[in-house]
Amino acid sequence: MKVPRRMFVRSALLTSGAAWLPWSGRLLCGNPLGLAAGVQLWSVREQLKENLDGTLHQLAAIGYREVELFETPKLPGEFRRKVEDAGLKCVSGHFELKDLKDPATIDAALQLGLTLHDPGLSRAAFARGAGCGRQLRAIRSSL
């Protein structure tokens, strides 16, 4: 039995459209990879100074689920509670490479529940080729 061309094209289009249905919700929500939306807190640092709790709640209200630190909070445990009370999760932070050698920095990262650490180098250290990999391996072996 011969299938008319028009019927074939219609069937092919419907089939390919149906194949996208499981993804359509993610695409419409702007989340094609299924990852939680996150924000670097540096972008709202001024608002955080004025109203920490309110800013965190606003970030959650507009759809963010994760935050990244740009500095280590003075009271990491309290900061984590505020983040979690707002419905967010603190997953990463920026640390100077030299600060990762300080046990207090590691303790703060653990209190915050961080899973990712972005080691940074000062401009001078970067310019002279500070051996970042070697330093990170030394820090890791000391933990």
Which of 49, 67, 55 is closest to 114 using CA atoms? 67
Distance CA 9, CA 75 (A): 63
Length of the chain: 143
0.85 exceeded by the pTM? no
Q: What is the pLDDT of residue 106?
A: 86
Give first-to-last CA distance, the chain, whole Å: 72
3-state DSSP percent of the chain in helix, strand and coil, to 5? 60, 15, 25
Residues 18 and 45 in one domain: no
- CATH number of the domain where residue 62 is located: 3.20.20.150
Residues 46 and 59 in one domain: yes
Beta bridge partners of 95: 119
pLDDT tens readout for residues 83-106: 999 999 999 988 877 777 788 888
Domain housing 69: 36-142
Residues 59 and 108 in one domain: yes
Residues 75 and 25 in one domain: no
Structurally, the chain folds into a number of domains equal to: 2
